[in-house]
Every structure is written in C-alpha cells, then in structure tokens.
Structure 1
C-alpha cells in the first residue's frame, strides 16, 4: 500500500477490530457518517471477514491510516460508490479525535488520489461535506478538490436541516492536483 513521510495506507486486518469498534462507535462523528446506532463487535468481525473483497465486486474500499513509526492506526479512508464505467468514486475519511491536526488526513488524501489515479485508473473523486464542517472543507480544498456546488437542506441534523457542499477532484487535471 502507499506510504508518505508520516503515514501508510494499508488493508484492514482482523487485529483492527478494537480500533474499528472505537472509531465506529464515536458518537461525535455519527453526524458526518450517516450513522444512527452503535456497531457491535460481532458486526465488525463479520465486516472484517469480507473487507478484502474486490472493489469491482463490492464497489468500495476501506484502508487504515497508520503512523509510519509504530504502525499505529489513526484513521480510515474510504472509496465508496465506485463506478467503473464513469471511473469515479466517493471519498470519506475519519481520523481519531486524539490524532487530528497532525496532517494525517491531508497526506492520506494525497496517497489515495495517487492510488486512485495510478492503480484504479479513476478519472475523478468526489466528497460531500456538511457546510458547517470547516475542518473538512479546508482539508478537501488543501488536497486539490474544488468546490462544485451546494445542496440546500441536504443533511438532517439534531438542530434541523443543514446544507452540504460538494467537492470534486479531476485526477488527470494538473491544475486540480
């Protein structure tokens, strides 16, 4: 899997069970991950059994973001809604709260873009970000994504409806890297 100065991206392993359990059950990120209920260890064990399935079959790919030193998991990065005909996929990224603001997410997006372009031969990546999620908006902009639109009242939140901002990165467009 790809690596950078601070991080590596690697496939999910059975030993990631406790890490995934903590990440998936962090209520603070449920609002950005469309999650409404806790995930059991049993569900995650079953998920890990099938996580290595081919992206062409399951239309998604999850990679663990680990520190270069110690190989400690700090987050996950996902490709989802993979579309081989139109050569595109959505991107989602989650970093443990304790590991944010170290540059891991930006580096992971850079590595994922390279993997998507060179290995999967994708033409573009896209992301949907809640308009109030300033950190994610800055992240995608810094990673070469362009803001392409706003979906009004797209996300239902505990405080009401919220807008979502659409981001797009054309992988062959040098001005968008």
Structure 2
C-alpha cells in the first residue's frame, strides 16, 4: 500500500464492488474511458477478482484512492504499461464529494513516485479533454508539459471534442 497521512493507494478489494459499480456507471464520465454501456456487478466482481494480476502481465494497474479511514474516494490507473519503452498512461477519478481538497494531487504524486522509482518508468502521459481546465491545471502543477492536441478525438452525442496530450518525463540528470 502507498500512503501518506491523508490518503492511501491500495489494491482493489471485494468490498470495493459497490463503489466501483457507482463510479463506472456514472454516464457523465463514460466519455473518459470510451464506455458505451453500463457495467454489471458480476462483470465488476470478476474484474476485482482478476485485479491481482501483475502490471507486467495485465499491462495496467488500478488502485483505490482511499482516506486514512479506508473510505474509498476514487481510482488511479496506470494503463498501456510498456516496460520496453518505460512509459504508461495515467488516469485518475476522484468522487465529486472529495474534489478540490488536494487529495487527487496527493494521489498523483504518490503514483508518479511509484511509477518512476519502483517501475523504473521514463515517462507518464495523460489525455485531457480540452474543456477540462481543472485537470489541465492539476497536471501542469505537477510539471506535465503539453505536447500536442488531438483534434476531434472523441465523438459523443453528435459532437467531436479535442484532447490535449501531456507528458511528464523523468528527470534522470
């Protein structure tokens, strides 16, 4: 478990099923993960039971962001893990009730430390919807650099939206 005084990053547990079900089925966030339909509890239960797979095998790592009292408040993911090129994508979602409290930033700092120091990654990248200024500010504050824009990258409800690409490259000097 990765932790500081405010939060923990921990593996998924069976008791996280209801929280995972709630977050994954919030339609307003489906555009973030290209979700097209609701997830069943059975499917998510199976996902949790397979979450023990090593990042080198699964090519992804999803951790629960929880308060020090173990209340889950969100999820943080490394995805498209590529050990050969030493890079991975990063995603985070924090429940609305816990946003703007610095908890997401704290979770991201822990995950970056883990990715660079334990997984020996060279770079982390994120995709941020052009309109999501909260995320832009958050990632820029964590020294992510904007490296491009993917025009009309997502199509949702008859509208194309662009996505910004940010990278954080490990300083090895």
The alignment's TM-score, normalised by the length of structure 1, stands at: 0.94
Instruction: Report the alpha carbon displacement of residue 3 of structure 1 after superposing the two structures with TM.
Output: 1.3
Structure 1 unaligned blocks of 5 or more: none
Mapped to 1, the partners of 2:57 and 2:97 lie a distance apart of 34
Once the two structures are superposed, what CA deviation does each residue of 1:36-83 show, in whole Å capped at 9, x if it has no partner? 111000000100110010110110000000112x11100000000000
Q: Are the counterparts in 2 of residues 154 and 163 from structure 1 also a CA contact under 8 Å?
A: yes
Q: Are the counterparts in 2 of residues 113 and 171 from structure 1 also a CA contact under 8 Å?
A: no
Q: How many residues align?
A: 173
| Alignment RMSD | 1.2
Aligned twin of 1:102: 101
Look up the SS of the partner of 1:132 in the other structure.
coil
After superposition, residues 122-137 of structure 1 pair within 5 angstroms as 122-137=121-136
Structure 2 unaligned blocks of 5 or more: none
Look up the SS of the partner of 1:37 in the other structure.
coil
Mapped to 1, the partners of 2:154 and 2:76 lie a distance apart of 21
Q: Are the counterparts in 2 of residues 155 and 162 from structure 1 also a CA contact under 8 Å?
A: yes
